[in-house]
């Protein structure tokens, strides 16, 4: 599953979790999203400690794209 697919599914399912529907819960939402990433992407993103959800998703997509390009190249 790509990060784009994971992010779409994550946002869709967050609608059913009232805890994640508040502005105060954005940090928790980011941590939960990070924990579901593939280990290679999680390792790259985890050190940044990004706590803005749209930024986290964007950076994760970039890492995923780079990872896939690297795998195709080698």
Q: Are 52 and 74 in contact (CB under 8 A)?
A: no
Q: SS3 breakdown of the chain: % helix, strand, coil, rounded to 5?
A: 80, 0, 20
Task: Output the pTM of the full model.
Answer: 0.84
- pLDDT per residue, tens digit, the chain (74 aa), is 899 999 999 999 988 988 877 778 888 999 999 999 999 999 988 888 899 999 999 999 999 999 888 888 87
Residue for token digits 């795998």? 71
Instruction: Give me the residue spans of the domains in the chain.
Output: 3-73
């Amino acid at each position: 599953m790509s990060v784009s697919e994971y992010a779409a599914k994550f946002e869709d399912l967050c609608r059913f979790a009232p805890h994640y529907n508040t502005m105060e819960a954005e940090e928790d939402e980011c941590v939960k999203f990070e924990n579901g990433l593939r280990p290679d992407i999680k390792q790259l993103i985890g050190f940044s400690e990004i706590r803005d959800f749209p930024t986290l998703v964007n950076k994760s997509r970039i890492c995923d794209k780079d990872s896939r390009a690297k795998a195709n190249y080698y």
